[in-house]
Amino acid sequence: MSHFDVSAVQADFPILKRLIRGNNRLVYLDSGATSQKPISVLDAEREFYTQHNAAAHRGAHQLAEEATEIFEAARGKVAAFIGAKVDEVVFTKSATESINLVAYSFGNADLGTKFHIKAGDRIVVSEMEHHANLIPWQELAKRTGAELVWLSVTDDGRLDLSNAERIINAKTKVVALTHQSNVLGTINPINEIAKYVRNVGALFVLDACQSVPHYAVDVKELDVDFIAFSGHKMLGPTGVGVLWGKQELLDEMPPFLTGGSMIETVTMESASYLPAPKRFEAGVPNMAQAVGLGAAVDYLNRIGMEKIHQHEVELTKACIERLSQIPQLKIVGPTDMELRGGVVSFTLDGIHPHDLGQALDQYGIAVRTGHHCAWPLMKKYRVVATTRASLYLYNDLADVEALVTGVERARDYFLGR
């Protein structure tokens, strides 16, 4: 386990020194919900505010020039991180906004354009989607009369592609899928699915919330049209997300939010719009947050995404192995490391996840319990909720051991009495 110096990484995250419920070391295993932030990200934001703060793209004075340059440099960093062109990176407030942006923009598209969705068209999602990549499509389907159809999941937590060709049929205009499930840890075979999508000429939207933070993602290699992810899950600040889209698509799509800084000309009657990314960034942007995200990307690059991935794979493997030794425990999701990320969901016979999570919290271990914003998936697997441990670069084997010991203690606490 020497891909990089994990204890040096831990030292960069001040919150890891916190004591929980009295005197317990914080064992943070909830990075799938939101990651912690290194000092360098906080410093980048502070430096922006104390040295360069002004409205980017809106002033000719020195601070405004500097703010513009630093903000655009952050865009450049994010673009390079995912192998994109700089103008293909749109800053949003979150992955949720990114996906809604695409769905609303499609909904705004004129009849006859390739984005227009109408009754008879089909939108395809999957049973393992986070609500953020499900409900916007339900709503778009409702508004347009299109049909919402989905790929199922198999009992071992994989996407069922056996009927993919029937589901992704000629009527299909959009396929919206998650890159990695935030519950199961499953990584979906995007290039394979892309073939079905391309065959029918549909648009492919990828929810990359759980992939971009954890392993190298290159949009040129993924054969998709849009990807969405959040800054706060990849060491960045809250309040910033990213939509990447192919330039020729972004430049043709109708805008979503309208207002200042995204217009070409405006009269009282109507307005015309700038090309992407500005077209989709109405208003004074979330400058400090974009800058913080740029610093997060610098941090991840300094460690190296390949090493981070290796580290997480080893930890996850250990985590699954050790948890599986607890007789009452059932892993929900794949138990092999083939196409699998560092998210481990499980149930414990006779103990509700809420109670388990509460006990773990008492020992300083932060996990997520509940439906994980993937309620249909819970119903599919006939569980009310699961307990989820999610790993990141600052976790180590001691954290995994703490989890396992914690689960055993909790079990004995509830079932032993």
Partner 1 sequence: MELDSLYQEVILEHYKRPQNKGLLPNQTVQVHHVNTSCGDEITLNLKMINGTIAEISWDGVGCSISQASTSVVSELLKGKDSAAALAIIDTFQAMLQSKGSDLGDESVLEDGVAFAGVAKFPARVKCALLGWMATKDAISQSLALTSNVKKEQR
Ligand X SMILES: Cc1ncc(COP(=O)(O)O)c(C=O)c1O
Residues engaged in binding partner 1 (CB under 8 A): 21-22, 57-60, 64-65, 68-69, 263-265, 274, 352-355, 358-359, 362, 369-371, 375, 378, 384-385, 413-414, 417
Under rule CB under 6 A, residue 178 binds ligand X: yes
Cα separation, 224 vs 194, whole angstroms: 7
Helix axis angle, 287-303 relative to 39-47, nearest 10°?
140
Phi then psi for residue 365, to 5 deg, are -100, 120
Using CB under 8 A, count the residues that bind a copy of itself: 96
Which residue among the candidates 167, 183, 190, 373 is catalytic per the annotation?
A: 373
Q: Among residue numbers 97 through 156, which ones bind a copy of itself (CB under 8 A)?
A: 97, 99-100, 104, 108, 127, 130-136, 138-139, 142-143, 148, 150
Helix (H) or strand (E) holding 244: strand 241-245
CA–CA distances in Å: residue 258 to residues 94, 254, 261, 277, 333: 17, 10, 9, 13, 41
Output 261 or 335, the one with its CB closest to partner 1: 261
Output 96 or 313, the one with its CB closest to a copy of itself: 96
Using CB under 6 A, count the residues that bind ligand X: 19
Four-point Cα dihedral 31, 34, 38, 44, nearest 10? 160
Q: Are 299 and 38 a contacting pair, CB within 8 Å?
A: yes
Query: Among the candidate windows 103-111, 204-212, 321-329, 344-352, which touches ligand X by CB under 6 A?
Result: 204-212
Q: Among residue numbers 17 through 36, which ones bind a copy of itself (CB under 8 A)?
A: 18, 20-21, 26, 28, 30, 33-34, 36
In sequence order, the β-bridge partners of residue 89 are 244
Q: Are 21 and 27 a contacting pair, CB within 8 Å?
A: no
Under rule CB under 6 A, residue 130 binds ligand X: yes
Q: Which of 283, 307, 358, 379 binds ligand X (CB under 6 A)?
A: 283
Under rule CB under 6 A, residue 36 binds ligand X: no
Output 57 or 246, the one with its CB closest to a copy of itself: 57
Output 328 or 362, the one with its CB closest to partner 1: 362
Q: What is the pattern of x (binds a copy of itself, CB under 8 A) and - over residues 356-395?
A: -xx-xx---xxxxxx--x-xx--x----------------
Residue 76: CB atoms within 10 Å? 13
Output 99 or 319, the one with its CB closest to a copy of itself: 99
Under rule CB under 6 A, residue 96 binds ligand X: yes
In sequence order, the β-bridge partners of residue 66 are none
Going by DSSP bridges, is the β-strand pair 368-370/386-390 parallel, antiparallel, or unpaired?
antiparallel
Cα separation, 100 vs 323, whole angstroms: 37
Nearest in space to 44 (alpha carbons), one of 234, 284, 214, 287: 287
**DSSP-derived 3-state class of residue 123:** strand
Q: Which does 387 bind (CB under 5 to 8 A by kind): a copy of itself, partner 1, ligand X, none?
A: none
Q: Which does 178 bind (CB under 5 to 8 A by kind): a copy of itself, partner 1, ligand X, none?
A: ligand X
Cis peptide before 277 (omega within 30 of 0): yes
Output 125 or 313, the one with its CB closest to a copy of itself: 125
In sequence order, what are the residues at sequence separation of 6 or more whose Cβ sits closer than 8 angstroms to the Cβ of residue 86?
A: 72, 75, 76, 79
One-letter amino acid of 140:
L
Q: What is the pattern of x (binds ligand X, CB under 6 A) and - over residues 350-389?
A: -----------------------x----------------
Q: Which of 40, 169, 247, 261 binds a copy of itself (CB under 8 A)?
A: 261
Q: Are 411 and 351 a contacting pair, CB within 8 Å?
A: yes
HSE of 106, CA atoms in CB hemisphere, 13 A: 28
Q: Are 333 and 345 a contacting pair, CB within 8 Å?
A: yes
319 is catalytic: no
Under rule CB under 6 A, residue 144 binds ligand X: no
Q: Which does 385 bind (CB under 5 to 8 A by kind): a copy of itself, partner 1, ligand X, none?
A: partner 1
**Residues of this chain that bind ligand X (CB under 6 A):** 94-96, 130, 132-133, 178, 182, 207, 209-210, 230, 232, 241, 259-260, 283-284, 373
List residues with catalytic annotation.
Answer: 373
